[in-house]
């Protein structure tokens, strides 16, 4: 089995996680979560989304979150940006990295960002170009790479086409989203191999929700073919308001535990990560949705 020596973890909990909470989480809690993840050594912490507050009120305070966090040198703080208005807000918050987010499924694109895939690519192109001109790095997401909550199966050609378009508009990395966690390892690996024919595998990231309990296995299958960046969410937070049935992202603690055990470096202090997960879970009034975190907390009790 060939595995990368180092894997870069992108913790999307403060964005993907908290956007999906039914209650709006207080700004101070969000700030503390981002700070704790940075202090644990997470190299990239997705700190929020400059999307329409009418669509996702949970992210309406992104400006305040970005103003309140301590920015650790060497930590990246990407934010979601859907359009030029979002980019203006990101520039005003001195953001260095944005993420634009398309989909491989037409129906999901309509539900999530109110336009077709083609329209979204036309909208993202000037946003990406302007962001790069402003000195920012641009990450591209593709949702529904292994299935869509509305359309079911999604053709891998559609994923490849969107990946090529995001690459053409200058995205330094493309994150492949199994939005509803339906993939299984061989299918996930085949999808990655198909995309890697148009975008080099070292510029691909995995963004797997764990709805069917497959995410860890899917991640391992894709690390074996050379992917070395994985999106996770502390305490298994996550979901998407426009993907019915989508549950949390794979828990950061579970991925870091697995990688530590296999001798793959992440630079993350697992115990500090578990504490960050405990912090946010207790603020939300529940246990962390991470098997590794629960086991570590029980052992250390
Ligand atoms: P729209 O309604 O078609 O656009 O929304 P609009 O331009 O008519 O805007 C509607 C209102 O929102 C207007 O306000 C705008 O000014 C305002 P009004 O004039 O009515 O007072 N507005 C904004 N305000 C602040 N910041 C902005 C902004 N844009 C518009 N950036 C739009 C189109 C794309 C804006 C909307 O559909 C939207 O914001 N969608 C975001 C949905 C979202 O955040 N989904 C979750 C994130 S994606 C995800 O979770 C998947 C991922 O994790 C990967 C995976 O798992 O697959 C990334
Ligand atoms: Mg997601």
Q: What does the pLDDT look like over 222-250, one tens digit per residue?
A: 999 999 999 999 999 987 888 887 789 99
Q: How far, in Å, from the CA of 241 to the mean position of ligand 1?
A: 12
Percent of the chain with pLDDT over 90: 96
Ligand number nearest to the C-alpha of 110: 1
Whole-number Cα distances in Å, 18 to 56, 114, 151: 10, 21, 26
Nearest atom in ligand 1 to the alpha carbon of residue 49 is 44
**Residue 161 has which token pair?**
């086409």
Domain parsing of the chain, residue ranges? 8-300
Burial (0-12, 13-18, 19+ Cβ within 10 Å), 60:
middle
Across 89-95, average pLDDT: 98
Query: Which whole number is the average pLDDT over 154-170?
Result: 98
The pLDDT tens digits of the residues spanning 268-290 come to 999 999 999 999 999 999 999 99
DSSP state of 109: H
The pLDDT value given to residue 242? 86
Asked if residue 273 has its Cβ within 6 Å of ligand 1, the reply is no
Q: Which residues are catalytic?
A: 240
Could you identify the atom of ligand 1 that is nearest to the CA of residue 85?
Answer: 31
Residue 207 Cβ < 6 Å to ligand 1: yes
The order of strands in the sheet holding 8-11 is 44-45, 8-11, 229-232, 204-208, 173-178, 137-143, 97-103, 79-80, 48-49
- 221 to each of 183, 187, 240, 246, how far by Cα in Å? 11, 9, 24, 21
Which ligand is nearest to the Cα of residue 179, counting in written order?
1
Report d(CA 120, CA 167) in Å as an integer: 14
**How many CB atoms are closer than 10 A to CB 157?**
10
Q: Which of 17, 52, 149 to mutate to test the pocket of ligand 1 (most atoms within 8 A of CB)?
A: 52
52-77 tens-digit pLDDT: 999 999 999 999 999 999 999 999 99
In this predicted structure, what is the pLDDT of residue 240? 80
Q: How many helices (H) and strands (E) does the chain have?
A: 12, 9
Task: Kindly state if the Cβ of 63 falls inside 6 Å of ligand 1.
Answer: no
The SS3 assignment for 29 reads helix
Q: 91: exposed, middle or buried (C-beta count within 10 Å: 0-12, 13-18, 19+)? A: middle
> 255 and 220 in contact (C-beta within 8 Å)?
no
Ligand nearest, relative to CA of residue 139: 1
Closest CA to ligand 1's atom 24: 52
Ligand 1 atom at minimal distance to the Cα of residue 249? 56
CATH of 8-300 given 3.20.20.70, 3.80.10.10, 1.10.520.10, 3.90.320.10: 3.20.20.70
- d(Cα 128, Cα 173) in Å, to the nearest integer? 12
Q: Tell me if 55 CB under 6 Å of ligand 1.
A: yes
pLDDT at 265 over 90: yes
Q: Please give all residues whose CB falls under 5 A of ion ligand 2, grouped by chain where several chains appear.
A: 16
Distance (angstroms) between ligand 2 centre and the Cα of 301 equals: 32
pLDDT of 249 reads 96
Give burial (CB, 10 Å; 0-12/13-18/19+) of 226. Answer: middle
Beta-bridged to residue 231, according to DSSP, are 10, 207
Burial of 121-154, coded b for 16+ CB within 10 Å and e otherwise, reads bebbbebbeebbeeebbbbbbbbbbbbbbeeeeb
Protein residue with least CA distance to atom 2, ligand 1: 114
Three-state DSSP class for residue 87: helix
| Mean pLDDT calculated for residue range 30-49 | 98
Residue 197: predicted pLDDT: 98
Give the pLDDT confidence of 171-186 residue by residue, as tens digits.
Answer: 999 999 999 999 999 9
Ligand 1 in contact with 177 (CB < 6 A)?
Answer: yes
- How far away, in angstroms, is 89 Cα from ligand 1 center? 13
Q: What is the pLDDT of residue 31?
A: 98
């Amino acid at each position: 089995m060939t595995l990368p020596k180092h894997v870069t973890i992108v913790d999307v909990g403060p964005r993907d996680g908290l956007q999906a909470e039914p209650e709006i989480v207080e700004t101070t809690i969000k700030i503390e979560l981002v700070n704790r993840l940075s202090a644990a050594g997470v190299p990239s912490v997705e700190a929020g989304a400059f999307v329409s507050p009418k669509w996702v009120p949970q992210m309406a305070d992104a400006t305040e979150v970005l103003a309140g966090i301590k920015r650790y040198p060497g930590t990246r703080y990407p934010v979601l940006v859907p359009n030029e208005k979002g980019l203006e807000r990101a520039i005003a918050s001195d953001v260095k990295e944005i993420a634009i987010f398309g989909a491989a499924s037409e129906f999901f694109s309509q539900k999530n960002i109110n336009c077709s895939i083609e329209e979204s690519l036309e909208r993202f192109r000037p946003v990406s170009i302007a962001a790069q001109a402003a000195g920012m790095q641009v990450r591209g997401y593709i949702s529904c790479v292994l299935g869509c909550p509305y359309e079911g199966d999604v053709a891998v050609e559609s994923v490849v086409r969107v990946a090529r378009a995001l690459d053409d508009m200058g995205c330094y990395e493309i994150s492949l989203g199994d939005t509803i966690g339906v993939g299984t390892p061989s299918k996930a690996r085949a999808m990655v191999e198909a995309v890697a024919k148009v975008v080099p595998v070292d510029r691909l990231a995995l963004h797997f929700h764990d709805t069917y309990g497959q995410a860890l296995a899917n991640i391992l299958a894709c690390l074996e073919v050379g992917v070395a960046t994985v999106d996770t969410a502390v305490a298994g937070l996550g979901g998407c308001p426009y993907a019915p049935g989508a549950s949390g992202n794979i828990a950061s603690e579970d991925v870091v535990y697995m990688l530590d055990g296999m001798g793959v470096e992440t630079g993350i202090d697992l115990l500090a990560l578990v504490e960050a997960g405990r912090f946010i879970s207790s603020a939300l009034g529940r246990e962390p949705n991470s098997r590794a975190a629960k086991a570590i907390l029980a052992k250390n009790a």
